[in-house]
Structure 1
Amino acid sequence: MLTSCPACHAPAADPFFSVAGLPVHGTAVLPDPAQARAVPVGDQVLVLCERCGMVFNRDFDESLLDYTGAHEESQHHSPRFAAYAAEITADWVARFGLTGAHVVEVGCGSGDFAAELLAAGVGRVTGVDPHFSPDRVRPELAGRLTAVPELFTAGQVDPGTAALVCRHTLEHIPALSEFGAELVSGMRRGGASTLLAEVPDLGRILTEGAFWDLQYEHCSYFTPATMAGFLTGLGFVDPAVRTTYSDQYVVAEAALGGGDAVPPELSTAELDTLRAGCHDFAERVSSQVGRWRGWLAERAGAGDDVVVWGGGAKGLTFLNVVEGGAAASGSGAGAVQAVVDINPGLQGHYMGGLGLPIRAPRDLTGTPPRSVLLMNPVYTGEVRGTLDELGLGSTELLTV
């Protein structure tokens, strides 16, 4: 249990929300229902730091996580996401002078974004991630993309590095201040002037009651204001922070200063806004869970087939919270009997906690579902197009 804020070390306050028994990995590739139902689980007990505004999981237990097994986190199979990745990499390369330069990506996952950086003109990328082994480097990128299958340390940043990229990594870090100091040390060692970071936006999660965006692996949550404060506290100067991807992500672009770091602290107005959002979150989640449980029960009672589109972390959290009891027991009473994902690495495998099969979109044509529930509204257009191409024009498409 964390007794202090991982960013500023202020004493932890009382929790404002909790959810128990979440599978600890949202991207694990599980070969059969039995193994899927036997995955480790943990609790999310969310606390707001009353000094810096960081929200963190007080009960996070890093020892439950194992990144050495099979994981499939790539989003690049989506044309919508691939276009976003190409757009942001091209923008970063142009604005920060990264053409032909060396970049270190901290937490590079499967290396998809590193490949985008190279395609946008970066000369060489070092990808650091315990899950990114050399055999995952595409042959055409050999010599330009170096895999370092380890946790990040400052010593991995070679002199002559232009920038550090840290996308969807900081939310996984329980010891934020120490990790941030390591990033800064690495940048100073390598001579890198720029940090380019991206995380999920907590503000949207709170406003929408989007409990499906809570993942056990995500132990630290940021808003634009708290991201700016965190980076300022590490010694970055006036970080530029904005939301992207239909306001789902917080993007920060920050230059490292030469002076002393300033302890992160939110203004009274910013902290009041965040405190109100956290205070109302549990009620919003209760409303959302009740709404979807009622809707799924109606569909089950009518004998209508429902498929959830999204076999990754969002679908896992949604279904484990809304239908976890019936589905995980193997009773077959759950309204959702399968999920769909466009990622071939997940297809033919099973969802953690529930043991539900993960199918390819084409598998829906054999027994067309009455409804498809999409886990991310960003993909509404492309999913509707896929259903229509498969001859499933009469299948209802809803989003959370």
Structure 2
Amino acid sequence: MPHDYARRVLSRCPACDTPAGDPFFSVTGLPVHGTAVLPDPGAARAVSVGDQVLVLCERCGTVFNRDFDSGLLDYTGDHEESQHHSPRFAAYAAEITADWVSRFGLAGEHVVEVGCGSGDFAVELLGAGVGRVTGVDPHFGPERVRPEWTDRLTAVPETFTREQVEPGTAALVCRHTLEHIPALAPFAAELHAGLVRGGGRALLAEVPDLGRILDEGAFWDLQYEHCSYFTPATLRTFLLGAGFAGVDGPEPAVRLTYADQYVVAEAGPGGTPGVPELPAHLREALRTACHDFAARVDEQIGHWRAWLGDRAGAGDEVAVWGGGAKGLTFLNIAVGGDAAGSAAPGAVQCVVDINPGLQGRYMGGLGLPIRAPKDLTVAPPRAVLLMNRVYAGEVRSTLDELGLGSTELLTV
């Protein structure tokens, strides 16, 4: 019987079952979906909201949302999570795919992608030479497989279990999925058992890096859908506890990628399951970073509210570039906020995104319109505030090509 990965985890660490301590940070009333496509301002303002109350596990170092409630999530409507419209992201996806196919001998082999989303990376794997891919995701059905890939890409619209991994599977890929899993320990057990069942040589995982979020006070990188957070050290610890080892050594290999925004882990099945425990010196450093996070967030929120208020007072129009989860969290906290502390009304006129699936729709919570870049030429903004600095080069080029060279570009 499949495990219930959607169960709420409130009182104990989802990775090692240690009793939860006191939270170090909380934000209330955050729209629960960062990828929902909303057709009008009314629907956008009526979205479900939830609280993110972050707790650090004092044993394994996993950070998790103590108040996560999967019952608030509803994926029956339209969702648009693809980042492949960005040349920068597409280049990164192609680079990491080619690296994995080469180093782990995946050419012509069968790979299972766990949590494949819209299937973009599964197609990337096929294009890089993987023979077949099985994409497992409750929201990825056969109708989402493009005709040219139907003979090599199989959609399994279900929660992942070990039985979905057929013998002769070379690797499991699990990108940007672990952070969505509230019941981490049983999910990792299924991943390990699936890799063993398939005879695979590698689990290839990727998650956002919590360390950067803490160090920068990057509250815009918090999402309600992200109920579990990892640093490189805590991801390695978590995988060791689940029975993973290194592909060619005793421990999983972990590294930072994508301008140090992501943690990549490469693990083999040859370890022994146990209770994950972060070394004491790393645990103390992480405890300090978590303790300091709330103050850093307060500084960031104060800075951006003041800046937006100044722009509004001067009559300068601002567009926020990024209609996905980062923009949603930033705007709902820095602009939505409480009535006394929020930026002056009218500072942000619209949100901009290059993803056609978001254009003409509305931002959850505030109900701001999401426009295409070319729409900025109708009423050029004084400034564009970019939600992810990794895209600064391509956004600056786009603005210049549109004749908006005088529009200031800032990044959070």
Question: In structure 2, what is the equivalent of residue 182 of structure 1?
Answer: 190
2:406 corresponds to which of 391, 394, 399: 394
Map 1:3-14 onto structure 2 (within 5 A).
Answer: 3-14=11-22
Question: In structure 1, what is the equivalent of residue 331 of structure 2?
Answer: 319
Identity level (%):
78
Secondary structure (helix, strand or coil) at the match of 1:15 reads coil
Q: Could you tell which deviates more after superposition, 80-89 or 65-74?
A: 65-74
Question: In structure 1, what is the equivalent of residue 376 of structure 2?
Answer: 364
Question: In structure 2, what is the equivalent of residue 373 of structure 1?
Answer: 385
Partners of 2:34 and 2:223 within 8 A in 1 = yes
Partner amino acid for 2:261? Q
Relative to structure 1, the CA distance from residue 261 to residue 291 in structure 2 (aligned partners, 3 Å threshold; closer, same or farther) is same
1:354 equivalent in alignment to 2:354 = no
Secondary structure (helix, strand or coil) at the match of 2:194 reads helix
Partners of 1:101 and 1:123 within 8 A in 2 = yes
Partners of 1:20 and 1:42 within 8 A in 2 = yes
Q: Could you tell which deviates more after superposition, 233-242 or 332-341?
A: 332-341
Runs of 4+, deviation exceeding 3 Å: none
Partners of 2:172 and 2:203 within 8 A in 1 = yes
Partner amino acid for 1:51? R
Partner amino acid for 2:378? G
CA deviations 1:277-327 (Å, max 9, x no partner) are 000000000000000000000000111000000000000000000111589
Secondary structure (helix, strand or coil) at the match of 1:373 reads strand
Partner amino acid for 2:46? A
Secondary structure (helix, strand or coil) at the match of 2:381 reads coil
Question: In structure 2, what is the equivalent of residue 195 of structure 1?
Answer: 203
CA deviations 1:41-96 (Å, max 9, x no partner) are 00000000000000000000011111222110000000000000000000000000
1:219 equivalent in alignment to 2:227 = yes
Unaligned stretches of 5+ in structure 1? none
1:287 corresponds to which of 296, 299, 313: 299
Shift, 1:262, TM fit: 2.7
RMSD after superposition: 1.3
Partner amino acid for 1:291? H
CA deviations 1:107-126 (Å, max 9, x no partner) are 00110000110111100000
TM-score scaled by length of structure 1 = 0.97
1:98 equivalent in alignment to 2:144 = no
1:246 corresponds to which of 256, 259, 282: 259
Secondary structure (helix, strand or coil) at the match of 2:33 reads coil
Partners of 1:326 and 1:332 within 8 A in 2 = no
The separation in 2 between residues aligned to 1:74 and 1:30, in whole angstroms, is: 16
The separation in 1 between residues aligned to 2:298 and 2:254, in whole angstroms, is: 31
Secondary structure (helix, strand or coil) at the match of 1:256 reads coil
1:303 equivalent in alignment to 2:315 = yes
Question: In structure 2, what is the equivalent of residue 266 of structure 1?
Answer: 278
The separation in 2 between residues aligned to 1:325 and 1:226, in whole angstroms, is: 32
Total equivalences in the alignment:
396
Map 1:25-174 onto structure 2 (within 5 A).
Answer: 25-174=33-182
Shift, 1:151, TM fit: 1.3
Unaligned stretches of 5+ in structure 2? 1-8, 246-250
Partner amino acid for 1:277? A
Partner amino acid for 2:225? E
2:347 corresponds to which of 335, 343, 351: 335
Secondary structure (helix, strand or coil) at the match of 1:397 reads strand
Secondary structure (helix, strand or coil) at the match of 1:323 reads helix
Partners of 2:312 and 2:344 within 8 A in 1 = no
Shift, 1:131, TM fit: 1.5
